[in-house]
Structure 1
Amino acid sequence: MDLPPPQKRMRSASPPPPSFSGGAIDLSLLEALEKSQQNAVETLDLKTLKKLALSLERRLNANTAARLKYPDNPEKFADSELELHDELQKLKILAGAPELYPDLVSLGTVNSITGLLNHDNTDVAIDAVTLLQDLTDADVVEDNDESALVLVDALIENNAAELLVQNLARLNDSDPDEAAAIYNTLSTIENLIEVKPSVSELVCEKTKLLKWLQARIKIREFDSNKQYASEILAILLQNSAANQKRFGQMNGVDTLLQAVAMYKSKDPKMGDEEEMVENLFDCLCCVLMPLENKERFLKAEGVELMIIIMNQKKLCYGSAIRALDFAMTNYPPACERFVDVMGLKTAFPAFMAGDSLKTISLLDGNISGMTYYLYTIPLSKKNKKRHHKEELEERLISLIASLFGGILRGSRRERLLSKFVENECEKIDRLMELYMRYSDRVKAETERLNDLELDDLEIDEDEKYGRKLDSGLYTLQLIAVILGHLWTSEHPRMRARIELLLKQQKLTKNDVKNILQRGHQNSVELMPIFFILMVLGGIRHPQIAACLGAAYTVTRFFYFKGYSTGHPKLRLTIGKYGFLALFGLGLCAISSGLHMLTL
């Protein structure tokens, strides 16, 4: 998807050491330090791990026995729970040796830790959450993928996801310790997903996490846990159509619209609140992928809200354009609504916009230079660093292309076309300016790829095409689509302007036509190779070749399906594995050839 994955939150640093005022020494702190040093484990190996695991089991059994024997007398089992707390704290050192995680699993300790998430004493459950957060931290498991996967598989098998979410329900933000536990719970869930992405759908299917997150972002007051909830929700919706549909069925589209509506006329505070709003719009864009959610967006007057946000020209301006792009792609009803509620008056000033209010003389030659004033787009410093202006341009181009594709006739079509005639066709001038810029960018990338091939670095055609798309080919194709719609309208002024601009750039209509054909040509060119490899490979390995051929066909289906969404990066979710099938067919063909030579 054309969405950057949400960045992981920076983990809060360890609290600073207590300072001594007036030179006085706190003896209690020294006693605690001495005690911790006595309890410290010097060497962390399998023997030490077994010792820690056995100690935890003993404390857990003692606590369970005390609770069963004295259920109505907390004083009788309070000491055993303090000891249980100490044992959980000791196990945190395992984060320094993730290679021991498989041994931790084989000892059955993971089952005991996950069981403590459901402990009657919330403090003990919080200790278990904190331990799991430490053990699964991204920095800890970064270079130990296999060990981390063993641990995560064991946690999932022991219902850790369900227990973590159940424990969330009894935590209260008003208590600082429980608020920290909420954060650590969300962090643990994020860590599990990072190690094993399939957890994303599993946790939504088996728990009420989506419902909890939905309730959390409904709260009007901002806090760090609301921000983190928005981030986790974005991660869950990022690459899962099942989660997107599930959240839509929970009235999630309306929830997100209400959440972002708070910022239609005011900017979020810099920092975490600004990041939260970005996350909310990421969620909205993700949830707008399924068709049924586009319908919900339309019924909830999401188009109108996004236009209001654009008109206010606050920090959410660009995010509203992005949401409209997702809503209108391959969905004509949203395009029609956009025109009906005067969206053209909002979109085209943005389309004409530049870095600041300035004048541009675009033309020379027989027609005098066309001067027009550009609107200022509000950009945050963070967004500037992310090439926000370019993204806005690409989104607006995609939006306009969607309008032409979704509105084919009638008065709405005439209103859309009229925008390109007004002010002496200034928008066609802007369109051609963008065409040349993206064309130059694609040419530069093509030359770079050719140079790599000269350096004996092999790049298959699919990858080359993908890199060209990333460099701007897809946007260039959309511009060509818009120019094609303008030309086929047979409006004499628009045709004359397009012909003049093409002539000035020493281009012809066929150059624009070739841009459109290039997308189809890429896939057509691969078909002869595919069939030849299928035939040759099938001579000696018919069953393997048939399976690989079927696999390639499936990947191409998802490639085209992703491309058709209007966001070409989606073609790579499954489509990127097509080259593996071709590679396998190539090996089968080589094997067949060698076999024939030996006959």
Structure 2
Amino acid sequence: MDVGELLNYQPDRGAKRNRDGDGGAAGADEDSRGGKQHKGLSAREMARYREAGVGIEGGGEMRDYDDLSQDRKRILEKLMDRDEEEPEAEPVDESSVKKMILTFEKRSYKNQELRIKFPDNPEKFMETELDLNDVIQEMHVIATMPDLYHLLVELNARAPHVAIAVVDLLQELTDIDTLQESEEGAEVLIDSLLEGQVVALLVQSMERLDEQVKEEADGIYNTLGKDMYTITAKMPFDANKLYCSEILAILLQNNDNTRELLGEMDGIDVLLQQLSVFKRHNPSTAEEQEMMENLFDALCSCLMLAANRDRFLKGEGLQLMNLMLREKKMSRCSSMKVLDHGMIGAEGADNCHKFVDILGLRTIFPLFMKTPKKMKKSVSSEKEHEEHVCSIIASMLRNLKSQQRSRLLNKFTENDCEKVDRLMEMHFKYLEAVQQADKRIEGEKHADGCNVTCARTVIQLSKAFTGNASSSALTCKTGKDLHA
């Protein structure tokens, strides 16, 4: 077969072409067609090689794709080696941190100035925003140097807006939905915050913020949220939970705005959840008992706001307090105080009706008849116990209607009106205490203050009862004028 026959030869279309051929005849045939497509390569592969800059010259062999990948790897390795050869960043010390803080303050003030000057023209302060963001990113390195944190605290004292930004960041970091995605990461974050005494820093920040300024009011809101999260984050008791409970109790004492804010943040439910631990278990240490009392005090302060009483009712707070009274644990004294705050006044009418519906009369009247022995060993005194019990019953006498009112009055007729006898006993006991206090009011006013307060409560209960019960029944049992 001569050369002409070889050039004119075409293989059978049904036959499978060998991809690994030596490129003899087929290569010549492809060359004769102008090199339309090389043997064994698709059009897509050809395009991929052309994009990579690999040429095909006059029938020479093309580098395969693996060789190209090796070239790319070598390029990446060279780039990485070049990065490693760059000089290391200067070490972080006190002077460098102070320099970063100074730069941050300058850029922050400049950004604020331009924002105030051009509030409707973001292009004017966009460059300062970028500069400020750059220095903030540089300051992240301080997180690895705990011994330099005191420099940030000094910055905190001079720039309240920084404190607001930090608190806002903490609020986002401790968002419950975010933390549930990684329990391990949440534990690390919480431990780091507690070790850095974040609670004390939050308190210091709140002391300097002005609620009249919207931005600072938002900072207070986020700070309260952080305190509530610290209380609920870990079930085991620790010193930080004690500290947070004390802070909440203090903040809620005489501030209706704070009480309303905590109610809007579902704080009532949080307090009830934390107190439910002590329903069947006593505090194991004196510090844990103090935390329990702080939480009860915070709840009592919240209930002084009418809106929070509805939240307390919907959160089944009455049921929890009623169970605590029945369980006879250390929480019983404080739970009675909570019931007193939740049912007093016209705003407590709904709670009074609900308390009767959950069979609370069966719980409260045994405590009315006799002060428990364990109560005498607890923090609460006998007089405080009698004061809260009488106040609860007096509130129900004022607020109950229809069937619930009848059920309450029927309690006083049981067992030959023994509860009326107890009421008269307490009435004359504290009436005498008031008369004695009046005689020596100047010298022993403070000593008899508790007697006077309790006496007023018992007398109010007596008057409320006489307004609802038959005067003839009282005369038969006591033989005395109740209003004497």
TM-score, normalised via structure 2 length: 0.61
- Is the Cα contact below 8 Å between 1:285 and 1:323 reproduced in 2? yes
Aligned to 1:41: none
User: Structure 1 residue 213 and structure 2 residue 227: aligned?
Assistant: yes
Q: Residues of 2 paired with 1:303 and 1:329: CA distance? A: 13
1:77 to 70, 91, 94: 91
Give the secondary structure class of the aligned counterpart of 1:305.
helix
Q: Residues of 2 paired with 1:391 and 1:197: CA distance? A: 38
Aligned to 1:422: 414
1:413 shift after superposition: 1.2
1:292 to 307, 332, 341: 307
Aligned to 2:382: 389
Pairing of 1:391-540 with structure 2 (within 5 A): 391-407=384-400, 409-450=401-442, 470-491=449-470, 494-497=473-476, 499-500=478-479, 503=480, 508-511=481-484
- Is the Cα contact below 8 Å between 2:279 and 2:331 reproduced in 1? yes
1:84 shift after superposition: 6.1
User: Structure 1 residue 240 and structure 2 residue 219: aligned?
Assistant: no
Aligned to 1:258: 273
- The amino acid across from 1:396 in the alignment is V
Structure 2: tracts of 5 or more residues without a match: 1-85, 100-134, 175-185
Q: Residues of 2 paired with 1:73 and 1:436: CA distance? A: 90
1:83 shift after superposition: 8.1
1:158 shift after superposition: 3.2
With over 3 angstroms needed to count, the CA separation of the structure-2 counterparts of 1:122 and 1:177, relative to structure 1, is farther
Per-residue CA deviation, residues 292-346 of structure 1 (Å, 9 max, x unaligned), is 1101111111111111111111111111111111111121010000011100100
- The amino acid across from 2:285 in the alignment is M
Per-residue CA deviation, residues 431-456 of structure 1 (Å, 9 max, x unaligned), is 2333333334333433333459xxxx
Aligned to 1:343: 360
User: Structure 1 residue 315 and structure 2 residue 330: aligned?
Assistant: yes
- The amino acid across from 2:384 in the alignment is E
1:186 to 199, 204, 208: 199
- Is the Cα contact below 8 Å between 1:217 and 1:230 reproduced in 2? yes
1:284 shift after superposition: 1.3
Q: Residues of 1 paired with 2:371 and 2:402: CA distance? A: 32
Q: Residues of 2 paired with 1:378 and 1:197: CA distance? A: 45
With over 3 angstroms needed to count, the CA separation of the structure-2 counterparts of 1:469 and 1:161, relative to structure 1, is farther
- Is the Cα contact below 8 Å between 2:387 and 2:458 reproduced in 1? no
With over 3 angstroms needed to count, the CA separation of the structure-2 counterparts of 1:299 and 1:124, relative to structure 1, is same
1:164 shift after superposition: 6.1
Q: Residues of 1 paired with 2:469 and 2:422: CA distance? A: 20
Q: Residues of 2 paired with 1:291 and 1:202: CA distance? A: 28
Larger Cα Rg: Structure 1 or Structure 2?
2
Q: Percent identity?
A: 29
1:221 shift after superposition: 3.0
With over 3 angstroms needed to count, the CA separation of the structure-2 counterparts of 1:232 and 1:75, relative to structure 1, is farther
1:279 shift after superposition: 1.8
1:270 to 264, 276, 285: 285
RCO (CA 8 Å, sep 6+): is it higher in 1 or 2?
Answer: 1
Q: Residues of 1 paired with 2:438 and 2:216: CA distance? A: 43
Pairing of 1:330-369 with structure 2 (within 5 A): 330=345, 331-354=348-371, 356=373
1:237 shift after superposition: 1.7
Deviates more, 1:434-443 or 1:315-324: 434-443
1:241 shift after superposition: 0.6
Per-residue CA deviation, residues 19-60 of structure 1 (Å, 9 max, x unaligned), is xxxxxxxxxxxxxxxxxxxxxxxxxxxxxxxxxxxxxxxxxx
Per-residue CA deviation, residues 332-378 of structure 1 (Å, 9 max, x unaligned), is 0100000111001001111223352xxxxxxxxxxxxxxxxxxx548
Deviates more, 1:484-493 or 1:410-419: 484-493
1:391 shift after superposition: 2.0
- Is the Cα contact below 8 Å between 1:237 and 1:283 reproduced in 2? yes
Q: Residues of 1 paired with 2:87 and 2:248: CA distance? A: 42
With over 3 angstroms needed to count, the CA separation of the structure-2 counterparts of 1:341 and 1:81, relative to structure 1, is farther
With over 3 angstroms needed to count, the CA separation of the structure-2 counterparts of 1:509 and 1:263, relative to structure 1, is closer
Aligned to 2:164: 162
1:244 shift after superposition: 0.7
1:422 shift after superposition: 1.7
- The amino acid across from 2:332 in the alignment is Y
In the alignment of these two chains, the number of paired residues is: 346
Pairing of 1:195-234 with structure 2 (within 5 A): 205-207=218-220, 208-219=222-233, 220-234=235-249
- The amino acid across from 1:281 in the alignment is F
Give the secondary structure class of the aligned counterpart of 1:449.
coil
With over 3 angstroms needed to count, the CA separation of the structure-2 counterparts of 1:317 and 1:443, relative to structure 1, is same
- Is the Cα contact below 8 Å between 2:383 and 2:450 reproduced in 1? no
Structure 1: tracts of 5 or more residues without a match: 1-71, 86-114, 136-150, 357-375, 453-463, 512-599
With over 3 angstroms needed to count, the CA separation of the structure-2 counterparts of 1:496 and 1:119, relative to structure 1, is farther
Q: Residues of 1 paired with 2:392 and 2:158: CA distance? A: 42
Aligned to 1:122: 143
1:325 to 340, 365, 374: 340
- The amino acid across from 2:369 in the alignment is M
Deviates more, 1:438-447 or 1:411-420: 438-447
1:210 shift after superposition: 1.7
Q: Residues of 2 paired with 1:198 and 1:488: CA distance? A: 46
- The amino acid across from 1:209 in the alignment is T
Q: Residues of 2 paired with 1:179 and 1:321: CA distance? A: 36
Aligned to 1:362: none
With over 3 angstroms needed to count, the CA separation of the structure-2 counterparts of 1:473 and 1:79, relative to structure 1, is closer
1:131 shift after superposition: 9.1
With over 3 angstroms needed to count, the CA separation of the structure-2 counterparts of 1:269 and 1:298, relative to structure 1, is same
- Is the Cα contact below 8 Å between 2:390 and 2:458 reproduced in 1? yes
Give the secondary structure class of the aligned counterpart of 1:278.
helix
Alpha-carbon RMSD: 4.0
With over 3 angstroms needed to count, the CA separation of the structure-2 counterparts of 1:420 and 1:280, relative to structure 1, is same
Q: Residues of 1 paired with 2:158 and 2:483: CA distance? A: 57
